[in-house]
Chains A and B, each alone.
Chain A
Amino acid sequence: MAQPRTTTRGLEPREAHEARIGSGAHVRGRIRGEGSLVIEGHVEGDLAIRGDLTIAEGASVKSEAVEAHAVTIAGALDGDVVATGPVRLAPGAQVSGNLRGSAVAIDDGARFAGRLDCDFDLPPELGGASRAPQGEARARVAARR
Protein backbone atom coordinates (compact mmCIF):
# COMPACT_ATOMS: atom_id res chain seq x y z
CA MET A 1 0.00 0.00 0.00
CA ALA A 2 2.48 2.67 1.03
CA GLN A 3 5.58 3.32 -1.00
CA PRO A 4 8.67 1.80 0.56
CA ARG A 5 10.32 5.17 1.08
CA THR A 6 8.43 8.37 1.67
CA THR A 7 10.14 11.49 2.81
CA THR A 8 7.60 14.02 3.97
CA ARG A 9 8.09 17.30 5.72
CA GLY A 10 5.47 18.98 7.88
CA LEU A 11 2.90 16.25 7.54
CA GLU A 12 -0.44 17.50 8.86
CA PRO A 13 -3.34 15.09 9.17
CA ARG A 14 -6.44 17.04 8.32
CA GLU A 15 -9.13 14.75 9.63
CA ALA A 16 -10.23 15.06 13.21
CA HIS A 17 -10.05 11.33 13.73
CA GLU A 18 -7.27 8.90 13.29
CA ALA A 19 -4.35 9.37 10.97
CA ARG A 20 -2.04 6.50 10.27
CA ILE A 21 1.51 6.08 9.11
CA GLY A 22 1.51 2.65 7.61
CA SER A 23 4.05 -0.04 8.24
CA GLY A 24 5.92 0.50 5.03
CA ALA A 25 6.31 4.25 5.43
CA HIS A 26 9.38 6.17 6.53
CA VAL A 27 8.73 9.71 7.56
CA ARG A 28 11.39 12.24 8.27
CA GLY A 29 10.30 15.61 9.55
CA ARG A 30 7.93 17.22 11.96
CA ILE A 31 4.43 15.93 12.43
CA ARG A 32 1.68 18.16 13.73
CA GLY A 33 -1.98 17.35 14.09
CA GLU A 34 -5.28 18.00 15.76
CA GLY A 35 -6.43 14.40 15.88
CA SER A 36 -5.00 11.08 16.85
CA LEU A 37 -2.20 9.24 15.13
CA VAL A 38 -1.21 5.62 14.80
CA ILE A 39 2.34 4.98 13.71
CA GLU A 40 3.07 1.57 12.24
CA GLY A 41 6.05 2.64 10.21
CA HIS A 42 9.16 4.60 10.99
CA VAL A 43 9.31 8.22 11.93
CA GLU A 44 12.25 10.42 12.54
CA GLY A 45 11.31 13.84 13.78
CA ASP A 46 9.28 15.65 16.37
CA LEU A 47 5.62 14.93 16.86
CA ALA A 48 3.08 17.26 18.36
CA ILE A 49 -0.54 16.21 18.17
CA ARG A 50 -3.62 17.06 20.15
CA GLY A 51 -5.06 13.61 20.13
CA ASP A 52 -3.74 10.25 21.17
CA LEU A 53 -0.60 8.69 19.82
CA THR A 54 -0.05 5.00 19.30
CA ILE A 55 3.31 3.58 18.31
CA ALA A 56 2.40 0.09 17.17
CA GLU A 57 4.44 -3.04 17.55
CA GLY A 58 7.14 -3.07 14.92
CA ALA A 59 7.01 0.68 14.50
CA SER A 60 9.81 2.97 15.47
CA VAL A 61 10.04 6.63 16.29
CA LYS A 62 13.15 8.66 16.81
CA SER A 63 12.50 12.12 18.05
CA GLU A 64 13.59 14.87 20.34
CA ALA A 65 10.12 15.09 21.77
CA VAL A 66 6.76 13.46 21.20
CA GLU A 67 3.79 15.45 22.39
CA ALA A 68 0.27 14.06 22.51
CA HIS A 69 -2.64 13.48 24.81
CA ALA A 70 -2.57 9.77 25.61
CA VAL A 71 0.43 7.81 24.39
CA THR A 72 0.56 4.05 23.93
CA ILE A 73 3.82 2.46 22.87
CA ALA A 74 4.18 -1.12 21.72
CA GLY A 75 7.10 -0.47 19.40
CA ALA A 76 10.35 1.40 19.66
CA LEU A 77 10.82 4.98 20.71
CA ASP A 78 14.00 6.90 21.10
CA GLY A 79 12.88 10.23 22.43
CA ASP A 80 11.05 12.02 25.20
CA VAL A 81 7.32 11.84 25.70
CA VAL A 82 5.36 14.81 26.94
CA ALA A 83 1.75 13.75 27.32
CA THR A 84 -1.24 15.51 28.75
CA GLY A 85 -2.90 12.15 29.26
CA PRO A 86 -1.68 8.74 30.37
CA VAL A 87 1.43 7.08 28.96
CA ARG A 88 1.57 3.33 28.65
CA LEU A 89 4.34 1.01 27.52
CA ALA A 90 3.06 -2.35 26.34
CA PRO A 91 5.10 -5.51 26.97
CA GLY A 92 6.97 -5.35 23.67
CA ALA A 93 7.89 -1.71 23.89
CA GLN A 94 11.46 -0.54 23.76
CA VAL A 95 11.75 3.02 24.90
CA SER A 96 14.74 5.16 25.58
CA GLY A 97 13.78 8.62 26.73
CA ASN A 98 12.02 10.55 29.45
CA LEU A 99 8.30 10.16 30.04
CA ARG A 100 5.96 12.71 31.42
CA GLY A 101 2.22 12.31 31.59
CA SER A 102 -0.80 12.39 33.85
CA ALA A 103 0.01 8.78 34.64
CA VAL A 104 2.69 6.43 33.44
CA ALA A 105 2.37 2.65 33.25
CA ILE A 106 5.04 0.24 32.13
CA ASP A 107 3.90 -3.30 31.51
CA ASP A 108 6.04 -6.19 32.65
CA GLY A 109 8.34 -7.08 29.79
CA ALA A 110 8.72 -3.61 28.34
CA ARG A 111 12.22 -2.34 27.98
CA PHE A 112 12.77 1.16 29.23
CA ALA A 113 15.56 3.53 30.14
CA GLY A 114 14.76 7.10 31.01
CA ARG A 115 13.21 9.36 33.53
CA LEU A 116 9.69 9.36 34.81
CA ASP A 117 8.34 12.61 36.16
CA CYS A 118 4.92 12.19 37.69
CA ASP A 119 3.45 15.03 39.66
CA PHE A 120 2.74 13.97 43.22
CA ASP A 121 3.73 14.49 46.83
CA LEU A 122 5.38 12.02 49.13
CA PRO A 123 3.81 11.66 52.56
CA PRO A 124 5.03 14.29 55.03
CA GLU A 125 7.14 11.72 56.91
CA LEU A 126 9.27 11.39 53.82
CA GLY A 127 9.62 15.07 53.20
CA GLY A 128 6.25 15.94 51.69
CA ALA A 129 6.19 18.12 48.64
CA SER A 130 9.44 17.98 46.78
CA ARG A 131 8.27 19.27 43.50
CA ALA A 132 10.61 22.23 43.22
CA PRO A 133 13.65 21.27 41.16
CA GLN A 134 16.10 22.10 43.91
CA GLY A 135 13.98 20.36 46.52
CA GLU A 136 13.92 17.29 44.35
CA ALA A 137 17.63 17.30 43.78
CA ARG A 138 18.22 17.72 47.47
CA ALA A 139 15.82 14.92 48.25
CA ARG A 140 17.56 12.60 45.85
CA VAL A 141 20.97 13.46 47.17
CA ALA A 142 19.74 12.75 50.67
CA ALA A 143 18.15 9.50 49.61
CA ARG A 144 21.33 8.36 47.99
CA ARG A 145 23.35 9.17 51.10
Chain B
Amino acid sequence: MTTNPSLIGIVGAGTMGAGIAQVSAQAGWDTVVYDISQEFVDQGLSRIRGFLQKGRERGKLSAEEERKILSRLHGSVKLEGLQDASLVIEAALEKLDLKREIFHQLDSICDPTTLLATNTSSLSVTAIAGATKNPQRVLGMHFFNPPPLMALVEVIRADRTSPAAMEKAVAITRRLGKTPVCVQDTPGFIVNRIARPFYNEALRILGEGQVSVESVDRIMKDAGGFPMGPFELMDLIGIDINFAVTESLYLSFFHDPRFRPSPIQQRMVLAGELGRKTGRGFYTYGAK
Protein backbone atom coordinates (compact mmCIF):
# COMPACT_ATOMS: atom_id res chain seq x y z
CA MET B 1 0.00 0.00 0.00
CA THR B 2 1.16 3.52 -0.71
CA THR B 3 -0.39 6.81 0.28
CA ASN B 4 -1.28 9.75 -1.89
CA PRO B 5 0.42 12.81 -0.32
CA SER B 6 -2.15 15.12 -1.85
CA LEU B 7 -5.16 13.27 -0.41
CA ILE B 8 -6.84 13.95 2.93
CA GLY B 9 -9.71 11.82 4.21
CA ILE B 10 -12.43 13.13 6.51
CA VAL B 11 -14.65 10.89 8.62
CA GLY B 12 -18.02 12.51 9.27
CA ALA B 13 -19.83 15.06 7.11
CA GLY B 14 -21.43 17.04 9.96
CA THR B 15 -20.68 20.67 10.81
CA MET B 16 -17.07 20.04 11.83
CA GLY B 17 -16.32 17.34 9.23
CA ALA B 18 -17.69 19.41 6.35
CA GLY B 19 -15.89 22.50 7.64
CA ILE B 20 -12.55 20.69 7.85
CA ALA B 21 -13.10 19.17 4.39
CA GLN B 22 -13.65 22.66 3.02
CA VAL B 23 -10.42 23.90 4.64
CA SER B 24 -8.58 20.95 3.14
CA ALA B 25 -9.97 21.39 -0.38
CA GLN B 26 -9.40 25.15 -0.25
CA ALA B 27 -5.76 24.57 0.65
CA GLY B 28 -5.34 22.40 -2.47
CA TRP B 29 -5.79 18.84 -1.19
CA ASP B 30 -7.96 16.27 -2.85
CA THR B 31 -10.44 15.51 -0.11
CA VAL B 32 -12.68 12.51 0.47
CA VAL B 33 -15.51 12.92 2.93
CA TYR B 34 -16.90 9.71 4.41
CA ASP B 35 -20.20 9.30 6.23
CA ILE B 36 -22.47 6.32 6.89
CA SER B 37 -25.12 7.25 4.31
CA GLN B 38 -25.23 9.05 0.96
CA GLU B 39 -27.78 11.41 2.48
CA PHE B 40 -25.31 12.58 5.17
CA VAL B 41 -22.49 12.87 2.64
CA ASP B 42 -24.69 14.97 0.33
CA GLN B 43 -25.81 17.20 3.20
CA GLY B 44 -22.18 17.85 4.13
CA LEU B 45 -21.14 18.61 0.55
CA SER B 46 -24.08 20.93 0.01
CA ARG B 47 -23.19 22.73 3.23
CA ILE B 48 -19.73 23.38 1.76
CA ARG B 49 -21.26 24.51 -1.55
CA GLY B 50 -23.45 26.97 0.34
CA PHE B 51 -20.46 28.32 2.30
CA LEU B 52 -18.39 28.75 -0.87
CA GLN B 53 -21.26 30.35 -2.75
CA LYS B 54 -21.63 32.97 -0.02
CA GLY B 55 -17.88 33.57 -0.17
CA ARG B 56 -18.08 34.10 -3.94
CA GLU B 57 -21.05 36.46 -3.58
CA ARG B 58 -19.04 38.51 -1.09
CA GLY B 59 -16.13 38.61 -3.52
CA LYS B 60 -13.86 36.44 -1.35
CA LEU B 61 -13.23 33.91 -4.10
CA SER B 62 -13.77 33.72 -7.86
CA ALA B 63 -16.13 31.37 -9.70
CA GLU B 64 -13.02 29.63 -11.04
CA GLU B 65 -11.60 29.06 -7.54
CA GLU B 66 -14.97 27.85 -6.34
CA ARG B 67 -15.12 25.35 -9.20
CA LYS B 68 -11.60 24.10 -8.48
CA ILE B 69 -12.30 23.65 -4.77
CA LEU B 70 -15.48 21.72 -5.49
CA SER B 71 -13.67 19.52 -8.02
CA ARG B 72 -11.29 18.41 -5.24
CA LEU B 73 -14.13 17.27 -2.97
CA HIS B 74 -15.43 13.72 -3.14
CA GLY B 75 -17.88 11.75 -1.04
CA SER B 76 -17.75 8.13 0.08
CA VAL B 77 -20.05 5.86 2.06
CA LYS B 78 -17.27 3.31 2.46
CA LEU B 79 -14.41 3.82 4.89
CA GLU B 80 -12.23 2.07 2.26
CA GLY B 81 -12.65 5.23 0.18
CA LEU B 82 -10.07 6.80 2.50
CA GLN B 83 -7.44 4.07 2.08
CA ASP B 84 -5.01 6.12 -0.04
CA ALA B 85 -5.10 9.21 2.15
CA SER B 86 -1.87 10.41 3.80
CA LEU B 87 -3.93 11.95 6.60
CA VAL B 88 -7.38 11.03 7.90
CA ILE B 89 -9.17 13.44 10.22
CA GLU B 90 -12.06 11.89 12.11
CA ALA B 91 -14.94 14.20 13.05
CA ALA B 92 -17.65 11.70 14.01
CA LEU B 93 -19.97 12.05 17.01
CA GLU B 94 -18.31 12.58 20.40
CA LYS B 95 -18.74 8.97 21.51
CA LEU B 96 -15.68 7.05 22.64
CA ASP B 97 -16.88 3.59 21.54
CA LEU B 98 -17.78 4.89 18.09
CA LYS B 99 -14.46 6.67 17.64
CA ARG B 100 -12.52 3.64 18.85
CA GLU B 101 -14.35 1.44 16.33
CA ILE B 102 -13.60 3.89 13.51
CA PHE B 103 -9.90 4.02 14.44
CA HIS B 104 -9.74 0.25 14.74
CA GLN B 105 -11.01 -0.01 11.16
CA LEU B 106 -8.86 2.85 9.80
CA ASP B 107 -5.82 1.18 11.35
CA SER B 108 -6.22 -1.83 9.06
CA ILE B 109 -7.64 -0.02 6.01
CA CYS B 110 -4.96 2.67 5.79
CA ASP B 111 -1.23 2.38 5.19
CA PRO B 112 0.81 2.21 8.44
CA THR B 113 2.38 5.56 7.53
CA THR B 114 -0.98 7.35 7.24
CA LEU B 115 -1.54 9.88 10.00
CA LEU B 116 -4.77 9.21 11.87
CA ALA B 117 -6.15 12.30 13.62
CA THR B 118 -9.25 12.81 15.72
CA ASN B 119 -11.03 16.14 15.98
CA THR B 120 -12.37 15.25 19.43
CA SER B 121 -12.85 18.20 21.77
CA SER B 122 -13.56 16.28 24.95
CA LEU B 123 -12.39 12.67 24.71
CA SER B 124 -8.92 11.32 25.41
CA VAL B 125 -6.86 10.93 22.24
CA THR B 126 -4.85 8.24 24.02
CA ALA B 127 -8.03 6.26 24.68
CA ILE B 128 -8.94 6.46 20.99
CA ALA B 129 -5.38 5.54 19.91
CA GLY B 130 -5.61 2.50 22.19
CA ALA B 131 -7.95 0.87 19.67
CA THR B 132 -5.18 0.72 17.05
CA LYS B 133 -2.10 -1.44 16.57
CA ASN B 134 -0.03 1.57 15.49
CA PRO B 135 -0.78 4.25 18.11
CA GLN B 136 2.41 6.14 17.26
CA ARG B 137 0.69 7.61 14.17
CA VAL B 138 -2.48 8.60 16.04
CA LEU B 139 -2.93 12.15 17.35
CA GLY B 140 -5.50 14.89 17.83
CA MET B 141 -6.18 17.76 15.43
CA HIS B 142 -8.76 19.87 17.18
CA PHE B 143 -10.31 22.47 14.87
CA PHE B 144 -12.63 25.21 16.13
CA ASN B 145 -16.08 26.01 14.87
CA PRO B 146 -16.48 27.12 12.09
CA PRO B 147 -13.23 25.58 10.75
CA PRO B 148 -12.99 27.77 7.62
CA LEU B 149 -12.94 30.91 9.81
CA MET B 150 -11.10 29.87 12.99
CA ALA B 151 -7.30 30.00 12.72
CA LEU B 152 -6.42 27.68 15.59
CA VAL B 153 -5.77 23.93 15.55
CA GLU B 154 -4.73 22.20 18.77
CA VAL B 155 -2.37 19.39 17.72
CA ILE B 156 -2.64 16.83 20.50
CA ARG B 157 0.11 14.46 21.50
CA ALA B 158 -1.28 11.20 22.90
CA ASP B 159 0.87 9.04 25.20
CA ARG B 160 2.35 7.04 22.32
CA THR B 161 2.28 9.55 19.46
CA SER B 162 5.69 9.68 17.76
CA PRO B 163 7.61 12.97 17.42
CA ALA B 164 7.62 12.43 13.63
CA ALA B 165 3.81 12.20 13.56
CA MET B 166 3.55 15.44 15.57
CA GLU B 167 5.97 17.22 13.23
CA LYS B 168 4.06 16.05 10.18
CA ALA B 169 0.72 17.15 11.63
CA VAL B 170 2.13 20.57 12.56
CA ALA B 171 3.48 21.03 9.01
CA ILE B 172 0.18 20.00 7.41
CA THR B 173 -1.75 22.31 9.75
CA ARG B 174 0.39 25.22 8.56
CA ARG B 175 -0.16 24.24 4.93
CA LEU B 176 -3.90 24.21 5.65
CA GLY B 177 -3.47 27.90 6.52
CA LYS B 178 -4.03 27.35 10.23
CA THR B 179 -1.96 28.05 13.35
CA PRO B 180 -0.94 24.83 15.12
CA VAL B 181 -0.42 24.71 18.88
CA CYS B 182 1.03 21.51 20.39
CA VAL B 183 -0.74 20.19 23.47
CA GLN B 184 -0.41 17.14 25.72
CA ASP B 185 -3.44 14.85 25.81
CA THR B 186 -5.19 16.18 28.93
CA PRO B 187 -8.90 16.91 29.56
CA GLY B 188 -10.15 19.89 27.53
CA PHE B 189 -6.64 20.43 26.07
CA ILE B 190 -5.89 24.19 26.26
CA VAL B 191 -8.86 26.21 25.12
CA ASN B 192 -11.85 24.30 26.44
CA ARG B 193 -10.17 23.91 29.82
CA ILE B 194 -8.82 27.42 30.39
CA ALA B 195 -11.98 29.08 29.06
CA ARG B 196 -14.20 27.17 31.55
CA PRO B 197 -14.13 29.86 34.28
CA PHE B 198 -15.32 32.50 31.79
CA TYR B 199 -18.65 30.66 31.72
CA ASN B 200 -18.68 28.79 35.02
CA GLU B 201 -17.66 31.64 37.28
CA ALA B 202 -20.11 33.98 35.55
CA LEU B 203 -22.83 31.39 36.27
CA ARG B 204 -21.61 31.12 39.86
CA ILE B 205 -21.80 34.91 40.27
CA LEU B 206 -25.30 34.92 38.74
CA GLY B 207 -26.35 32.18 41.17
CA GLU B 208 -25.10 34.25 44.12
CA GLY B 209 -27.77 36.82 43.33
CA GLN B 210 -27.97 40.63 43.24
CA VAL B 211 -26.56 40.86 39.75
CA SER B 212 -28.21 40.49 36.33
CA VAL B 213 -27.16 38.64 33.18
CA GLU B 214 -27.02 41.99 31.36
CA SER B 215 -24.86 43.54 34.06
CA VAL B 216 -22.27 40.72 34.05
CA ASP B 217 -22.07 40.81 30.25
CA ARG B 218 -21.62 44.57 30.27
CA ILE B 219 -18.92 44.43 32.96
CA MET B 220 -16.93 41.76 31.11
CA LYS B 221 -17.04 43.85 27.94
CA ASP B 222 -16.61 47.36 29.36
CA ALA B 223 -14.50 46.66 32.45
CA GLY B 224 -12.65 43.65 31.05
CA GLY B 225 -12.39 44.37 27.33
CA PHE B 226 -13.75 40.97 26.26
CA PRO B 227 -15.46 41.10 22.84
CA MET B 228 -18.56 39.32 24.17
CA GLY B 229 -20.06 38.74 27.61
CA PRO B 230 -20.24 35.17 28.95
CA PHE B 231 -24.02 34.88 28.79
CA GLU B 232 -24.45 36.19 25.26
CA LEU B 233 -21.59 33.91 24.21
CA MET B 234 -23.23 30.86 25.84
CA ASP B 235 -26.45 31.72 23.98
CA LEU B 236 -24.48 31.81 20.73
CA ILE B 237 -22.60 28.55 21.35
CA GLY B 238 -25.70 26.75 22.60
CA ILE B 239 -26.37 26.21 26.31
CA ASP B 240 -26.51 22.41 25.79
CA ILE B 241 -23.14 22.31 24.01
CA ASN B 242 -21.50 24.55 26.60
CA PHE B 243 -22.97 22.46 29.44
CA ALA B 244 -21.78 19.22 27.81
CA VAL B 245 -18.20 20.50 27.62
CA THR B 246 -18.27 21.58 31.27
CA GLU B 247 -19.77 18.31 32.40
CA SER B 248 -17.21 16.32 30.41
CA LEU B 249 -14.32 18.24 32.02
CA TYR B 250 -15.87 17.83 35.46
CA LEU B 251 -16.06 14.05 34.97
CA SER B 252 -12.58 13.86 33.40
CA PHE B 253 -11.06 15.62 36.42
CA PHE B 254 -12.94 13.30 38.80
CA HIS B 255 -15.27 15.94 40.21
CA ASP B 256 -12.69 18.63 40.84
CA PRO B 257 -14.78 21.58 42.14
CA ARG B 258 -13.01 23.93 39.70
CA PHE B 259 -15.12 22.42 36.93
CA ARG B 260 -18.38 21.87 38.81
CA PRO B 261 -21.30 22.63 36.45
CA SER B 262 -23.97 25.14 37.39
CA PRO B 263 -27.53 24.10 38.31
CA ILE B 264 -28.77 27.20 36.45
CA GLN B 265 -27.26 25.92 33.22
CA GLN B 266 -28.49 22.36 33.74
CA ARG B 267 -32.02 23.64 34.36
CA MET B 268 -31.96 25.58 31.09
CA VAL B 269 -30.75 22.52 29.17
CA LEU B 270 -33.53 20.37 30.65
CA ALA B 271 -36.11 23.05 29.81
CA GLY B 272 -34.90 23.30 26.21
CA GLU B 273 -33.79 26.92 26.62
CA LEU B 274 -30.66 26.43 24.56
CA GLY B 275 -29.86 29.96 23.43
CA ARG B 276 -30.21 31.58 20.02
CA LYS B 277 -31.02 28.34 18.22
CA THR B 278 -34.24 27.90 20.24
CA GLY B 279 -35.02 31.60 20.47
CA ARG B 280 -34.53 31.63 24.22
CA GLY B 281 -31.55 31.31 26.50
CA PHE B 282 -30.19 33.95 28.85
CA TYR B 283 -31.79 36.41 26.43
CA THR B 284 -34.85 36.14 24.18
CA TYR B 285 -34.40 36.25 20.40
CA GLY B 286 -36.67 37.03 17.46
CA ALA B 287 -40.20 35.66 17.24
CA LYS B 288 -39.40 31.96 17.70
Q: Is B a genuine binding partner of A?
A: no
